[in-house]
Structure 1
């Protein structure tokens, strides 16, 4: 059994009006991965995409900070996180093992900005799909970071905030919180 944890801290809080924070726990046990995420003070009544990000070559990912705001618009958008955090890898949605990322099947926060997410994932299926996408079945959770995304559609974002993924615009993909995943056992 292997256990991992991420303390999730706010990102873009000064621009979105909330300081999202929480924790994520991961337990690999035999043939399953149990994921539990609890978030507080996210934008209320909003769907929140959540994923782990990383580098396919196994380089350790770091969390984005204001230093990644390369266009100096005051927002750290999805594209700006890639230099330190890598690419989006595994979604925390209704079926993480399928690695289907752009859709509307992610948690929605309540009126207080709270949500919790728990999913037991078949590890063999996830590893097989991860290998197809990234060339290795080793998830290397301790080299990944977790991002929580999503702000209300009525939040005024400058045109410089990038993050269009298919039909989903920067309101869906804007990072609101981030945490480094660390092995704890």
Structure 2
């Protein structure tokens, strides 16, 4: 039996960054495998984009951030401002999601048109074991999570009030540019 989930990914911060990124994500769980496919359009071109699912470790329903989450009224919804409704960063969609290693340079890169497709088959038991170590629960509960796509070019002016430094990566890397609610489709 395969369980399916999907998310329609909509723009966030589009009025400030000059692009309105959008796309879709699908997830399929069968046996010991999670298959992920994310297709994005109109992202900032020729650059890497971090992408993750976010949620609450206590199982509370995560929701996508909107302009209403701009708590400091600087015109941007930054990574820290998403946490109130979306929770914390949980699983990366990178070269090895099962390792749950967040800050690095192994995420998809958009082409010259701002498009990219990410596809990965993930060993579910390894991902669940690492998820349990991090969050105390092995079940992913995708239906309670949201997806975020991050990243703008360095030439986009971000006010100092835009938070999002992760390791040595600044807010240009972590700024959310698109988000989607993950829902069960079975």
Which bracket does the TM-score occupy, shorter chain normalised? over 0.9
For 2:127 and 2:113, the matched residues in 1 are separated by 33
Structure 2 counterpart of 1:57: 58
For 1:18 and 1:155, the matched residues in 2 are separated by 11
Deviation at 1:70, TM superposition (A): 0.3
Q: After the TM superposition, which residues 71-82 of structure 1 pair with which residues of structure 2 at under 5 Å, given as runs?
A: 71-82=72-83
For 1:179 and 1:13, the matched residues in 2 are separated by 14
- 1:26 paired with 2:27, answer yes
Unpaired segments ≥5 residues, structure 2:
none
Deviation at 1:19, TM superposition (A): 0.4
Q: Secondary structure at the match of 2:125?
A: helix
Q: After the TM superposition, which residues 21-170 of structure 1 pair with which residues of structure 2 at under 5 Å, given as runs?
A: 21-170=22-171
Deviation at 1:153, TM superposition (A): 1.1
Structure 1 counterpart of 2:16: 15
Q: CA RMSD, aligned part only?
A: 0.3
Deviation at 1:29, TM superposition (A): 0.4
TM-score scaled by structure 2?
0.99
Residue correspondences, number: 185
Q: Secondary structure at the match of 1:111?
A: coil
For 1:162 and 1:110, the matched residues in 2 are separated by 27
Q: Secondary structure at the match of 2:54?
A: strand
Stretches of 4+ aligned residues off by more than 4 angstroms: none
TM-score scaled by structure 1?
1.00
